[in-house]
Structure 1
């Protein structure tokens, strides 16, 4: 059995602040900003809820990556979703995004991303497809549950059954070196010296 190399499955962007993004043939990553032509590109935070809280906060969420395996899990549960549906810019396969440490560098062609943290799934996911949020969050202890997901005051996920959770809706990154990214690009992982687990950003 051969192990598939980590790769880019699809790329998406949207110049409006909508939940889902539009799959495209190519995206251009711009150093220090994010995806060219994307509403979340910028040196300071661009997600509207965070802009309302503090528009001067550095943008640690320039690029959103999700693993295709999550979409497979969601489709198996009856959710009709595809590339860009969950708002990601880059859909990957063959790489454990959630297990990467903070400050991991991902090389995609000539571009380099630095991983900053986890996406914290929010109630908008259920607007896309009822109960999809339950797929994007699981109990940290691995116990299966059909319970609702508890949300914090700003809408981010905090627990299931009152227990700690594992967030599965992808990771966020900043652009350290710009370049084009297309489906099929191989992803090379450069780990940092220490292992600091990812936290929501």
Structure 2
């Protein structure tokens, strides 16, 4: 896969709660918040179920991205799903979103001449040692947010932008996966400080957790986007969730640069 093939296929947003989101000519990312005018934008969780459980949780689901290849896959099984149909904000093409490591930065648009940019990555599978295990759990939230405090003080615009989300993480009781995701967001913001690239950008925090609403949209579709592999591990295929590092407009056709974090890589988990 070449970097030229990595692109935005469609963009979508909605100011009211609905399962699907209408396509737009462009969306505007707002650093630290999400998509301008989108119902899921904010520092703390906006998804209704999450709000009902704990409204103080950090919003690591500001931007939802799905690979267009998923729609081709389910179309072969009789399910017609248009871009925005599963509620994503950005539909991508040519990027193996599900296999990206936690903390990957996606930058939208063509790089400015002479800008410092990262090389595209076609997949994270086998690219490093996954971080796992309970040793990350108890200390991860504290590490993420105490480390985030350091990042925010010295990392410039991106870290300042995500300071609110990381402050919410510091104040909340986080599960293990969310703690690791918050840590990855903090590290990405710090990394971004050394990159002279002002393009709109998000940091991939984790996987979308598909829900029964998918069957309400297309009966039987849920089983195609969540299942188990041969080893019994649950596999989530309904896209990834991200936090906005740098704001700006994103349009269909924009190229996407993929910047992997330093290894060892941590796999995406539900957030």
User: With structure 1 as the length reference, what TM-score do the two structures score?
Assistant: 0.87
Over 3 Å counting, the alpha-carbon distance change for 1:3 and 1:138 in structure 2 is farther
In the other structure, the counterpart of 1:94 is 94
Q: Classify the secondary structure of the residue corresponding to 2:5.
A: coil
The 3 A distance-change label for structure 1 pair 101 and 131 is same
Deviation at 1:141, TM superposition (A): 2.1
1:198 aligns with 2:268: yes
Root-mean-square deviation over aligned CA pairs = 1.5
Among candidates 204, 222, 225, match of residue 136 of structure 1? 225
Post-superposition offset of 1:134: 1.3
2:3–2:257 Cα contact (<8 Å) kept: no
Closer, same or farther: CA 196–18 of 1 in aligned 2, 3 Å: same
Which one of the candidate residues 258, 262, 266 is aligned to 1:189? 258
Partner of 2:80: 80
**Aligned twin of 1:111:** 200
Equivalent in the alignment of 1:38: 38
> Secondary structure of the residue that 1:125 maps to in structure 2?
helix
Match of 2:10 in 1: 10
Note the residue ranges of structure 1 that are not aligned, 5 or more in a row.
Answer: 143-162
Distance 2:41 2:77 in 1: 32
- Tell me the matched-pair count: 181
1:179 to 242, 248, 254: 248
Q: Is there any run of 5+ residues in structure 2 with no aligned partner, and where?
A: 110-198
Task: Tell me the CA shift for residue 3 of structure 1.
Answer: 7.8
Q: Any idea what the Cα deviations from partners look like across 1:156-192, whole Å, max 9, x if unmatched?
A: xxxxxxx322100000000000010000011101111
More strand per residue: 1 or 2? 1
- Taking the aligned partners of 2:267 and 2:3, their CA distance within structure 1 comes to 25
TM-score by length of 2: 0.65
SS where residue 84 of structure 2 aligns?
coil
The aligned counterpart of 2:238 is 169
Q: Which residue of 2 aligns with 1:150?
A: none
Contact between 1:138 and 1:165, CA under 8 Å: does it hold in 2? yes
Larger radius of gyration: 2
1:125 aligns with 2:214: yes
Aligned ranges for residues 33-72 of structure 1 at < 5 Å? Answer: 33-72=33-72
Q: Is the 8 A contact 1:62 1:174 kept in 2?
A: yes
**Greater helix content:** 2
Q: Is the 8 A contact 1:73 1:135 kept in 2?
A: no
Query: Which stretch of the first structure deviates more once superposed, 70-79 or 34-43?
Result: 70-79
Tell me the equivalent position of 2:29.
Answer: 29
SS of equivalent to 1:29: strand
- Separation of aligned partners in 1, 2:64 and 2:87: 8
